[in-house]
Amino acid sequence: MSDRSSTSPVVRAEDVRKSFGDHEVLSGVSFDVGQGTVTVILGPSGSGKTTLLRSLNGLEVPDSGTVTVSDVTVDFGSLTPNRSGRLPRAQREQLTALGRQSGFVFQAHNLFAHRTTIENVIEGPVVVQGEDEGSARERARALLEQVGLAEHADKYPYQLSGGQQQRVGIARALALRPEVVLFDEPTSALDPETVGEVLTVMRDLAEQRWTMVVVTHEIRFAREVADQVLFIDGGVVVERGAPEQVILEPQQPRTQAFLRRIL
Ligand code: ADP
C-alpha cells in the first residue's frame, strides 16, 4: 500500500451489516480510508457496493455497525426507530451530520433540469449550508473551471453532454466542501466517448488529495489511481490492499474469477 494510505483515517466503517427483508446484503464490512487517499470498491453486480457506499453517508441506514466520517460517528445498532420507522430527533440529526461530511456523485448526474449549471452547483452551499450567494458563486466558478466547464456556467443541463453533466455533478459535490467524495459508478451511464473526460477530472481530484471512495468497474482507473482496492462479494470484503496486490496478484479465488470475467 502506498504511503498515502497510512495517514489518519477520514472514514472508518466497522462491522457494517444491512439486510433487505431476509436478504443480507452487507454481512459485516470494515475498512478505513486515509486522508487524501483514493479507495476503489470493486465487485460483481449485486454484491452490495452501492449499499455500502450509501451507508457511509446515511443515504442507506445499516442495521448495525458504526460509520465514522471525520469527527462524526453513527452507531447504527443503537438507533431506535419507533413503530412507524421514525427515528427520535437527536438520532435524525446525527444521520444528517454524517451525511454532511460527504459529497455524493450519483451514477446519473441528478441535476435540477430547470436550473443552470452554476445554479446547480450553488444550491447545496446556499440552501443547505446557508452560505452567502456571492461567495458561493465565486467558489462555484472556480470549481467549474477545475472541471473544465467555466464557459458553460449559464447553460441548462439539456444543453450539455452526458460527460459534461456528470462533471457538473462532481463540481456540485465538491461545492459542499466535504471531507470525502463518494462516487457511485460515475461513468457507467455515460457514452463510451465521454467516460474519459470524467475519469480525467477524477484523476485531477486525486492529485489534489481529495479523499475519495469510488465504486467503479474501471479497472485501469483503479490500477492507476487507487491507494487501496476493496473487492467485495457476497456482502463481505473478500480482499483488500494496494491495486498491485488486489488487481495484479489477487490471492482469493473469488477475486481471481471476477477479474478474469471483466479483464
Ligand atoms: P451493487 O452496487 O454491488 O450492484 P447493491 O448494493 O446495489 O449492489 O445491491 C445489493 C443487493 O441488495 C441486490 O440484490 C439488490 O437487489 C439489493 N437491494 C439494494 N437496494 C435495495 C432496496 N432498497 N430494497 C431491496 N433490495 C435492495
Per residue in 118-160, pLDDT (tens digit) is: 999 999 999 999 999 999 999 999 999 999 999 999 999 999 9
Tell me the average pLDDT of the chain.
Answer: 95
| Alpha carbon distance 15, 65 (integer Å) | 5
Q: How far is residue 54 CA from its own chain's centroid?
A: 8
Calpha distance 205→146 (Å, rounded): 9
- Residue 167, ligand 1, Cβ within 6 A: no
Q: Which atom of ligand 1 is nearest to the CA of 54?
A: 6
Tell me how far the alpha carbon of residue 48 lies from the centroid of ligand 1, in angstroms.
6
CA 4 – ligand 1 centroid, Å: 31
Q: pLDDT at residue 19 above 90? A: yes
What mean pLDDT do residues 72-96 have? 94
Q: Which triple of cell numbers denotes residue 180?
A: 470525502
What average pLDDT score do residues 235-260 get?
A: 96
**Pair 62, 76: CB distance under 8 Å:** yes
Rounded Cα gap, residues 107 and 214, in angstroms:
11
The residue nearest atom 6 of ligand 1, judged by CA position, is 48
| pTM reported for the whole predicted model | 0.95
Give the Cα separation of 168 and 119 in Å (integer). 10
Atom 21 (ligand 1) nearest CA: 20
Give pLDDT tens digits for 23-71: 999 999 999 999 999 999 999 999 999 999 999 999 999 999 999 999 9
68 lines ligand 1 (CB under 6 A): no
Which of 6-10, 59-63, 72-76, 130-134 is predicted least confidently? 6-10
So what's the pLDDT on residue 222? Answer: 97
Question: How far does residue 81's CA lie from ligand 1's centre (Å)?
Answer: 22
Ligand 1, pocket-test mutation among 20, 107, 258, most atoms within 8 A of CB: 20
Confidence of residue 110 (pLDDT cuts 50, 70, 90): confident
Do the strands 180-184 and 236-241 form a parallel or antiparallel pair, or are they unpaired? Answer: unpaired
pLDDT of 2 above 90: no
| ipTM of this complex | 0.98
Whether residue 179 has pLDDT greater than 60: yes
Grid cell 447553460 is found at: 155
* Terminal-residue alpha carbon distance, the chain: 22
Name the amino acid, one letter, at 191.
Answer: D
Atom of ligand 1 nearest to the CA of 185: 2
Q: Which of 33-42, 78-87, 151-160, 224-233 has the lowest mean pLDDT?
A: 78-87
Average pLDDT rounded to a whole number, residues 171-200:
96
| Backbone φ/ψ region at 225: left (φ over 0), alpha (ψ -120 to 50), beta | alpha
Tell me if 55 CB under 6 Å of ligand 1. no
Nearest alpha carbon, ligand 1 atom 12:
25
pLDDT at 6 over 80: no
| Cα–Cα separations (whole angstroms), residue 7 to 32, 33, 182, 189, 230 | 10, 9, 19, 33, 18
What pLDDT score was predicted for residue 7?
66
Check pLDDT > 50 for residue 1. Answer: no
**Centroid of ligand 1 to alpha carbon of 101 (angstroms):** 24
Helix (H) or strand (E) holding 18: strand 9-20
Find out whether 176 and 129 touch, Cβ atoms under 8 Å. yes
Please state which of the ranges 3-7, 46-50, 64-68, 199-203 shows the lowest mean pLDDT. 3-7
